[in-house]
């Protein structure tokens, strides 16, 4: 409970920093153009894009993974696990999908529990045993129950607004009032650094939500060591079969339980997922606290 509360505070603080950057850029736009209407225009575009992506999040993710709906006859174990967990959480049964990719991964999406979808790849179904799969599915359902799609959609929209307004500053910043050389340097610095800062903050919010889903999923399944074991296997499995960050995959990768892409030199800074070693360590600590069966 303490860790979950701390992660909630961290998320609120990160959103606060994002809002501060938005307001700071808004002040620059207003000062440089003599009109605050531009910032409202970009904010409106951000709100509309957030609504669309949030409303269609399940369809976008499922299409990106080329997933198809499966019946209970085709995936009896998956259905049995999800039905048990959803009943235990007193939530409706989500739609279930399987993606044909061999890269082991899973994700859940949907704007609320009544519109949720859970997807497993063929690779993860082959890699994990039933106990480990149960831990993974509990993690994914926790994302839906925690309304993480809303959180990530808002964070992405705010980052998009910051980037759009920063681009406006770069192209049109010198056409407004004469703020002098120092003013122009400050405006250019903000235009260049703000999108970078927004992206890092957005990634940090995603990492915080992953820790929460790990803890809540372990509580739902009452078996944190099963999820820890699954994460160890997924770390090796995704490294052996990384996906290419093409098209919609780059936009939905944060939904997956493991980073599907090949790690790079600066992967820790820009990753949407915390390091597996840290996630496993937290789950093992949780098990030592009384959850191990």
Distance CA 55, CA 53 (A): 6
Q: Which residues contact 118 (CB under 8 A, 6 or more apart)?
A: 82, 94, 95, 96, 97, 106, 107, 108, 137, 140, 141
Tokens standing for 103? 């890269």
Distance CA 262, CA 244 (A): 8
Active-site pick, 102, 132, 140, 278: 140
Please name the residue that has the structure tokens 């405006």: 187
Catalytic site residue 140? Answer: yes
Active site residues: 140
């Amino acid at each position: 409970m303490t860790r979950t509360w701390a992660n909630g505070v961290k998320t609120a603080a990160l959103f606060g920093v994002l809002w501060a950057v938005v307001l700071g850029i808004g002040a620059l736009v207003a000062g440089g153009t003599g009109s605050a209407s531009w910032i409202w225009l970009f904010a409106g575009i951000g709100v509309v894009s957030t609504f669309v992506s949030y409303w269609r999040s399940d369809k976008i993710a499922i299409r990106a993974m080329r997933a198809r709906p499966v019946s209970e006859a085709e995936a009896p174990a998956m259905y049995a696990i999800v039905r048990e967990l959803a009943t235990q959480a007193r939530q409706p049964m989500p739609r279930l999908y399987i993606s044909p990719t061999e890269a082991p991964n899973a994700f859940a999406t949907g704007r609320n529990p009544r519109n949720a979808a859970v997807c497993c790849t063929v690779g993860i179904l082959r890699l994990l045993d039933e106990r480990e799969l149960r831990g993974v599915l509990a993690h994914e359902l926790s994302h839906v129950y925690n309304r993480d799609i809303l959180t990530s959609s808002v964070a992405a929209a705010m980052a998009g607004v910051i980037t759009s307004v920063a681009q406006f500053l770069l192209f049109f910043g010198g056409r407004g009032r004469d703020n002098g050389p120092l003013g122009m340097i400050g405006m250019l610095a903000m235009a260049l650094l703000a999108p970078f800062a927004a992206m890092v903050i957005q990634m940090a919010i995603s990492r915080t939500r992953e820790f929460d889903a790990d803890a809540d999923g372990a509580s739902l399944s009452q078996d944190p060591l099963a999820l820890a074991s699954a994460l160890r296997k997924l770390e090796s499995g995704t490294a052996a079969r990384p996906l290419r960050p093409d098209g919609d995959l780059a936009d939905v990768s944060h939904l997956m339980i493991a980073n599907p892409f090949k790690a790079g030199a600066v992967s820790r800074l820009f990753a949407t997922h915390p390091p597996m070693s840290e996630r496993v360590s937290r789950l093992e600590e949780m098990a030592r606290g009384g959850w191990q069966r």
